[in-house]
Structure 1
Amino acid sequence: MTPLLSVIIPARNEATALPLLLADLAPLRAAGAELIVVDGGSSDATCALAAAQADKVLETSAGRALQMNAGAAVARAEYLWFVHADTRVSAASIRHLLATLAERPIWGRFDVRLSGSGLALRLIGTMINLRSRLTGVATGDQAIFVAREPFEALGGYADIPLMEDIELSGRLKKRARPRCLRPPLSTSSRRWEHDGIWRTVLFMWRLRLAYYRGVSPDQLARQYHRGPPL
């Protein structure tokens, strides 16, 4: 029997965060969903930990688009749900997702909240969600779900090192506006806390503006991995 949902988790050196996510998803797996972890060259115990809690563990070169496409290629379900390894998923979010999939939407995503404490991080999460609702564009942190047919018809994620989520959103929203689900998922705030909250916000907006102006994703990826300027 074809499962309704395959959860595809790109990971790299996520031995701390990944087991927490897989534990969140264990009831969904018990109900028949397929869990696929795609490792992008971890040097820690990510693969070994995933093997105990997932249905499939794949190993590819690093690159989120490459990893997610590899997972989608072996997935068996009608719907694909792409969830970052540092995400936490509540039982209420899972229930809402399953209820939504019963309505057979083309695609959608979740609201998010950042994991850290403090008003600034709460405000940033609110801004991310509002921007997504207004534009119809989703980021990978928002756990995009999509029916297999349109995903495959569109050729999956573009083979680019950054902005693959925004690029796919742009193509999907030509078919339909995304379904925007709550309650929010929790996504790690470690980058904001490490690099500075508002400095990171401005940096991300500069990268996105440069992408819309036509700067190549390869160049943007180099800037992203260097982090915001001091």
Structure 2
Amino acid sequence: MKPQISIIIPVINEAAQLADKLQALQALRVRCELLLVDGGSIDASATIAAPLVDQVLHSQRGRARQMNLGARHAQAEMLLFLHADTRLPERAVELIMSAVEQGAEWGRFDVQFDSPQAIFKLIACMMNVRSRLTGIATGDQAVFITRQAFQAVGGFPEIALMEDIAISAALKKIGKPCCLKAKVVTSARRWQHHGILRTILLMWRLRLRYFFGAHPDELAARYYRRQ
């Protein structure tokens, strides 16, 4: 039986928390297929994932490249791109399929962080409001796209950074995103590790430079320099 949704999970060195994240998706395998795309991990990510997903695919490093490979191997007509550190809300499949039945070609969920700190509630609120106003979805929001729409825009541009913003801009020409109010829960670990204010300022600066034409390779070098 063909799955309703192909859930595509790009990873790189996520062994420490991957088993727990994939266990949370097991109940969905009755209706969905899970495709994990490893971008050259040097840890045990692929080995840990193997019994918990339908396919483990191997790709060159690069989130856009990994997600495009997953889409090429997907069986379903609906594609859901999920970060390894993001947890889907209850009834995610029903919410997506209902949106499609009502004519949505693509969309995303609202987001919240897995930290009780008030600052993360504010950051999440700002991300969700900005997304509604601009029609731009970020990868943390678990973007879903019909196969037809995905192919119409040529998939994710295989750029080093900002691939989520780039594909959102292309998809907006097809139709407005469906902004689901149900919340995915994403990890605050990188924000906490690198400093909350520093991360906010960095992301604002990178996005501003991208909109003014800076090359994604240049932006990626700046972003990953902090890792």
Distance 1:28 1:100 in 2: 18
SS at match of 2:52: coil
Letter in 2 for 1:123: L
SS at match of 1:17: helix
SS at match of 1:128: helix
Q: CA deviation at 1:150?
A: 1.4
SS at match of 1:68: helix
What is aligned with 2:5? 5
Distance 1:193 1:123 in 2: 15
What is aligned with 1:172? 171
Does the C-alpha gap of structure 1 residues 2 and 92 become closer, same or farther in structure 2, counting only changes over 3 Å?
closer
Distance 1:93 1:154 in 2: 24
Letter in 2 for 1:114: F
What is aligned with 2:77? 78
What is aligned with 1:16? 16
1:8·1:82 contact (CA, 8 Å) conserved in 2?
yes
Distance 2:11 2:99 in 1: 26
Distance 1:94 1:183 in 2: 12
Distance 1:80 1:94 in 2: 11
Q: Structure 2: where are the runs of 5+ without partners?
A: none
2:5·2:93 contact (CA, 8 Å) conserved in 1?
no
Letter in 2 for 1:11: V
> Normalized against structure 1, the TM-score is what?
0.94
2:57·2:70 contact (CA, 8 Å) conserved in 1?
yes
Q: CA deviation at 1:220?
A: 0.2
What is aligned with 2:157? 158
Distance 1:114 1:120 in 2: 10
Letter in 2 for 1:9: I
Letter in 2 for 1:84: H
Letter in 1 for 2:149: P
2:38·2:58 contact (CA, 8 Å) conserved in 1?
yes
> Normalized against structure 2, the TM-score is what?
0.96
Distance 2:126 2:93 in 1: 23
SS at match of 1:176: coil
Residue-by-residue CA offset, 1:169-199 (whole Å, 9 max, x unaligned): 0000111110011321011111110111111
Residue-by-residue CA offset, 1:73-104 (whole Å, 9 max, x unaligned): 11011110000001112324344233323334
| 1:195-214 correspondence to structure 2 within 5 Å | 195-214=194-213
Q: CA deviation at 1:117?
A: 2.1
Distance 2:16 2:97 in 1: 27
| 1:112-127 correspondence to structure 2 within 5 Å | 112-127=111-126
Higher deviation after alignment, 18-27 or 179-188 = 18-27
SS at match of 2:205: helix
Q: How many residues align?
A: 227
Distance 1:144 1:11 in 2: 16
Distance 2:177 2:17 in 1: 27
Q: CA deviation at 1:38?
A: 0.0
What is aligned with 2:131? 132
The percent of aligned pairs where both chains have the same amino acid is: 49
1:27 aligns with 2:27: yes
SS at match of 1:175: coil
Does the C-alpha gap of structure 1 residues 103 and 16 become closer, same or farther in structure 2, counting only changes over 3 Å?
farther
1:21·1:89 contact (CA, 8 Å) conserved in 2?
no
Q: CA deviation at 1:16?
A: 2.5
